């Protein structure tokens, strides 16, 4: 009888220890919101002049933080992905902050937009007028078995390996050092 009582006490202590360990584990793991903030991000560099000539000078898909569009802005991107069409509004200023402000005719804009699977077309609008069309699908993945152009592992895993020199760090535990990572990839430290 005494043995059974001792066993019950041990069981209670054991359960208590598990409970405490669980609480410590939950407190140390990153909160859900922290993890959710990071996603695949399309970094888009635009060159626009005041006559509405527009060019994409660089685009690259990586993993990180995205920005929110500003619905009250004059410029808009229409992003055609596999399953949906999304609009992203953004402002452009043709003035440099000075006293008095200096007018410029050409502006560079870098945007960090959420990347959706199968993004194949980007249209750029200024006040509802279409000013540029870009075949983003071929720019982000041309499937020629070489990691080239604006491709990265995140937009084109068929051409780019996890350890490709594609200006994007993929800290994968795959035994290869990604040269874009420095010490963020554990394989580069070994």
Q: Is 87 in the site for Ca ion (CB under 5 A)?
A: no
Q: How many residues bind Ca ion (CB under 5 A)?
A: 10
Stretches 15-23, 48-56, 131-139, 159-167: which one binds Ca ion (CB under 5 A)? 159-167
Q: Which is nearer to Ca ion, 18 or 146 (CB)?
A: 146
Q: Is 185 in the site for Ca ion (CB under 5 A)?
A: no
Stretches 5-13, 40-48, 96-104, 153-161: which one binds Ca ion (CB under 5 A)? 153-161
Specify which residues 122 forms β-bridges with.
79, 134
Contact 81, 64 (CB under 8 A): no
Is the peptide bond between 100 and the residue preceding it cis, with omega within 30 degrees of 0? yes
Among 29, 53, 70, 144, binds Ca ion (CB under 5 A): 144
Residues 6 or more apart from 96 whose CB is under 8 A from it? Answer: 102, 104
What is the nearest approach in angstroms of Ca ion to the Cβ of residue 179? 7
Residues 6 or more apart from 175 whose CB is under 8 A from it? Answer: 187
Residue with tokens 């005719």: 105
Q: Is 180 in the site for Ca ion (CB under 5 A)?
A: yes
Q: Is 74 in the site for Ca ion (CB under 5 A)?
A: no
3-state SS assignment for residue 21 = helix
Q: Is 159 in the site for Ca ion (CB under 5 A)?
A: yes
What is the nearest approach in angstroms of Ca ion to the Cβ of residue 162? 7
What is the nearest approach in angstroms of Ca ion to the Cβ of residue 185? 9
Q: What are the E-state strand segments in the chain?
A: 38-49, 54-65, 75-80, 85-90, 95-96, 102-103, 106-114, 121-126, 129-134
Q: Which is nearer to Ca ion, 84 or 174 (CB)?
A: 174
> Footprint of Ca ion on this chain (CB under 5 A)?
142, 144, 146, 148, 159, 164, 166, 168, 178, 180
């Amino acid at each position: 009888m005494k043995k059974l009582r001792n066993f019950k006490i041990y069981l209670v202590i054991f359960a208590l220890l598990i409970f405490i360990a669980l609480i410590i584990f939950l407190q140390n793991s990153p909160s859900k919101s922290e993890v959710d903030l990071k996603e695949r991000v399309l970094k888009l560099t635009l060159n626009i002049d005041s006559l509405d000539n527009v060019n994409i000078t660089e685009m690259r898909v990586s993993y990180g933080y995205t920005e929110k569009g500003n619905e009250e802005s004059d410029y808009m991107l229409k992003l055609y992905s596999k399953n949906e069409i999304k609009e992203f509004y953004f402002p452009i200023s043709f003035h440099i902050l000075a006293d008095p402000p200096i007018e410029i005719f050409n502006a560079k804009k870098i945007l960090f937009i959420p990347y959706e699977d199968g993004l194949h077309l980007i249209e750029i609008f200024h006040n509802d007028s279409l000013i540029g069309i870009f075949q983003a699908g071929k720019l982000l993945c041309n499937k020629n078995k070489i990691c080239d152009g604006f491709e990265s592992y995140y937009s084109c895993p068929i051409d780019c390996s996890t350890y490709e020199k594609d200006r994007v760090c993929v800290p994968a535990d795959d035994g290869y050092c990604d040269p874009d990572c420095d010490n963020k990839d554990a394989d580069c430290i070994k």
